[in-house]
Copies of this chain bind each other. A is one copy, B any other.
Amino acid sequence: MRRDLQAAQAFLRSELATDSAVLPTARILEWLQSRRDAHRFSIKQVQLDAVKGWRTDRDTGYIRHQSGRFFTVEGLKVVTTYPRDVVFYQPIINQPEVGILGILARRFDGVLHFMMQAKMEPGNINLVQLSPTVQATRSNYSKVHGGAAVRYLEYFLDRSRGRVLVDQLQSEQGSFFLRKRNRNIIVETDEDVPQHEDFCWLTLGQLKAMLRHDDVVNMDTRTVISGIPFTDGNGAPFRGYRAVLAASAMARDQGEFGNGEIISWLTELKSLADIKVDGVPLDGLPGWSRDEWSIHRSDRSYFSVIGISVEADNREVKGWCQPIVRPSAIGTTGFLTQQRRGLLHFLVHARMEAGVFDMLELSPTVQYLPGGLESDSPFLGYFQDPPREYVRFGAIQSEEGGRFYHYRNLNMVLELPASERIVVPPGFIWMTLGQLQEFVRYNNYLNIEARGLLACLALAEESNG
Contact = CB atoms under 8 A, between A and B. Distances in A.
Interface of A: 1-5, 7, 96, 98, 100, 164, 166-169, 183, 185, 233, 253, 256, 258-261, 263-264, 267-268, 270-271, 276, 341, 357-358, 439, 441-445
A150 to B, nearest CB: 15
Contacts of A270: 98, 169
A267 B3 contact: no
The A contact surface, by secondary structure, is: mixed
Contacts of A276: 96
Contacts of A271: 98, 100, 169, 183
B264 A164 contact: yes
Given A270-B98, A358-B444, A167 B263 contact: yes
Contact of A3 (B4, B164, B258): B258
Nearest to A2: B258
Nearest to A184: B267
Given A164-B261, A185-B267, 7 more contacts: A96-B276, A167-B263, A169-B271, A233-B253, A442-B442, A442-B445, A444-B444
A263 B168 contact: yes
Contact of A261 (B4, B259, B358): B4
Contacts of A167: 260, 263-264, 267-268
A433 to B, nearest CB: 18
Contacts of A185: 267
The residue in A98, A256, A341 that gathers the most chain B C-beta atoms within 10 A of its C-beta is: A98
A260 B259 CA distance: 18
